[in-house]
Amino acid sequence: MTLKKEDNEIGNTIIEDEKHLVLDHDYDGIQELNHPLPSWWSGIWAVSIFVAAVYFMYYVMMDGPTLQEEYEAEYSQVRKVIEAEKAKSGNFEIEEYLAFVKERDGIKKGFTVYEENCLSCHAEGGRGDIGPNLTDKFWLNIKSFDPKEVYTVVFKGVEDNGMPAWAEMLSKEEMMSVVSYVISLNGTNPSEAKEPQGVELK
């Protein structure tokens, strides 16, 4: 491969093998070489045009699903998973609960779940804020300290009182753990506790 310096009036250096690529014009003394595009780039470009044409025909001119229809189809699958998990979580067995609390340190885990999800309404130590005090014997939505009753309130929520249904946000183990923690708060009587609400449990 050789280089020549006198191939044009301006004196640009042109590689001999590229001399045939020089275009017949220049801009401010700058000449252009007409290099062909790489074959792989041209191939991808051609394929993208083909795919775009097929996409347009299917989704615009034919019966391709709309974005809303695709969303609804995918969300229906998500709902099936959620409902299956809810059905599983809704099956509360006292033996399973007691074993979980004893063998897997449920109360300690419940403290973490409480801090992350319940603290904003029931305050530190369950003393009550927007939500009721969880440390006294007065309760709004249960008739006894049966863990199953407390679990049901956590699981289903109490819409009228602003208590969300945690079944869609927490796992069964997380709900069992926070139930064990809430029950452990009974009788702790923290300072600045909210006044009693509901019925006194005997």
Residue-wise pLDDT for 49-67, tens only, equals 999 999 999 988 888 888 8
43 lies in some domain = no
> What's the number of domains the chain is made of?
2
Q: What is the CATH number of the domain that holds 194?
A: 1.10.760.10
The percentage of residues in the chain with a pLDDT greater than 90, rounded to a whole number, is: 37
pLDDT tier at 1, thresholds 50, 70, 90: very low
Answer yes or no: do 28 and 109 share one domain.
Answer: no
Q: What is the mean pLDDT of residues 130-134?
A: 92
Buried b (16+ CB within 10 A) or exposed e, 41-72: eeeeeeeeeeeeeeeeeeeeeeeeeeeeeeee
Q: What is the mean pLDDT of residues 67-78?
A: 89
> Given its phi and psi angles, is residue 84 left (phi above 0), alpha (psi -120 to 50 degrees) or beta?
alpha
Contacts of 73 (CB under 8 A, 6+ apart): 65
> Given its phi and psi angles, is residue 12 left (phi above 0), alpha (psi -120 to 50 degrees) or beta?
beta
Higher-pLDDT residue of 167 and 28 is 167
Residue carrying structure tokens 């708060």: 185
Q: What is the mean pLDDT of residues 37-42?
A: 91
55 lies in some domain = no
137 lies in some domain = yes
pLDDT tier at 22, thresholds 50, 70, 90: confident
